[in-house]
Amino acid sequence: MDIIIACKGVPLIESIIFAKQKNVGIEIKSFCFSSVFNSDWHGLLALTKKNLHGFTGLRSLHGMIYDFALSFDRNTIGEIKNDHLKYLEIAQELETKILIAHSTYFPGLTKWQYNDWLSWQKEIWFTVAAEAKKHDITIAIENIIDETPNSIIDVIDSVKADNLKACIDFGHLNLITNNETLLTWIDTLKDYLFYTHIHNNNGRYDSHSEIDNGTINYKNVFNSLMKLQNTPKIAIEVDRLNEVESSLNKIQQNLLNPI
């Protein structure tokens, strides 16, 4: 099982040092804010590349977190597609083979025009996945407020690209469902699941707490994950390094042996 740390709460260089010490991978979060391409992202890319020099572990890149309700006119579709193509450029420069992208499904907004939304998603990801394949990059679509896995499955099935996969963020999912449904998501996405974000919360606020500080029963989650034919990559998405270390220890000592 590949374990990755995804810690936004500390400077990247500290996460890199930690990842080297623990022999785990790293998820690069330096470019995930929505205004990134309105800033000196080329300078940020050069600095990030310098910081990663000598790091030989697995690398993934966290894509943009969209902070607005998307109006899918032609300009917006083009902008999103171009954003993702820029992320592929960044991934190539940083020698990452995994790009985490966010679902843009919004209950109440997307549902009433679902077929249009799905058509737009197909247009975006058909182009982006094809470009990613040229560089052996796998894209994993992460749930944000998706009510069921079906929206992600529909996108992947419509594109039919073997490098377009799914990512379950269990912290996000815990805000809209319960522990039993978490396991249903794993079972439903088992043939699509490539990547996971592991963190905990109280079911009301996305606190990105360590894995035993919240209402998610991770013993059951890992029991289900370890039984899959293809075990997904595990990214510990906790904001403080001491809690990352605590979570890593609990995963390695207590959660990797299925019942």
Range of the structural domain that residue 203 is part of: 3-255
Q: What is the pLDDT of residues 119-163, one digit of tens each?
A: 989 999 999 999 999 999 999 999 998 989 999 999 999 999 999
> What gap in Å lies between CA 39 and CA 55, rounded to an integer?
26
Please tell me the predicted confidence (pLDDT) of residue 101.
Answer: 95
Q: What is the pLDDT of residues 96-114, one digit of tens each?
A: 999 999 988 888 766 678 8
pLDDT band at 253 (very low <50, low <70, confident <90, very high): confident
CATH code of the domain containing 14: 3.20.20.150
Tell me the whole-structure pTM to 2 decimals: 0.94
Q: Between residues 78 and 231, which one has the greater pLDDT? A: 231
Total count of domains within the chain: 1
Q: What is the pLDDT of residues 163-172, one digit of tens each?
A: 999 999 999 9
DSSP-assigned states of every residue in the chain: --EEE--TTS-HHHHHHHHHHHT-EEEE-TT-STTGGGS-HHHHHHHHHHHTTT--S-EEEE-----S-----HHHHHHHHHHHHHHHHHHHHTT--EEEEE----TTTTGGGHHHHHHHHHHHHHHHHHHHHHTT-EEEEEPSS-SSTHHHHHHHHHH--TTEEEEEEHHHHHTTS-HHHHHHHHHHTTTTEEEEEE-B--SSS---B-TTSSS--HHHHHHHHHTSSSPPEEEE--SSHHHHHHHHHHIIIIISS--
Q: What is the pLDDT of residues 180-196, one digit of tens each?
A: 899 999 999 999 999 99
